[in-house]
Amino acid sequence: MIDPVAIDIVSAVLLLTGAMSCLLGALGLVRLPDLPSRMQAATKPQTLGLLLILAGTALRVELESAVTLLLVGLFQVITAPVISQLLGRSAYRAGTVRRELLVVDELAGKMPEERSS
């Protein structure tokens, strides 16, 4: 049997690192300048934080509940990219991307026009 104290310590480290990562993601939402950069904060540190918190929780609950946590993590990893892509291109179309903050913009003038009906 593994020492329960050791499990507690590992779990605590995972939970705290995860919470820290989520906090940094939230901070990014406030501090970063425009929508695409904020999407990065909302998807990366946030996803990492969630996965760490799930892992930390999984160590402390029964196996059956831990397996359900696996699904939470899986869906987060699968769905977040879809949303970030949709929001990203909408933002570009709507002109909320701060052009002066881009080193290069090779999409300029290439985005297909929305068909007006």
Interaction of residue 19 with other proteins, rule CB under 8 A: no
Q: How far is CA 5 from the centre of its chain?
A: 31
Helix axes 63-94, 35-58, angle to 10 degrees: 180
Interaction of residue 13 with other proteins, rule CB under 8 A: no
At residue 65, the 3 state secondary structure works out as helix
Interaction of residue 107 with other proteins, rule CB under 8 A: yes
Interaction of residue 28 with other proteins, rule CB under 8 A: yes
Q: What part of residues 56-95 is at the interface with other proteins (CB under 8 A)?
A: 64-65, 67-68, 70-71, 77-78, 80-81, 84-85, 88-89, 92
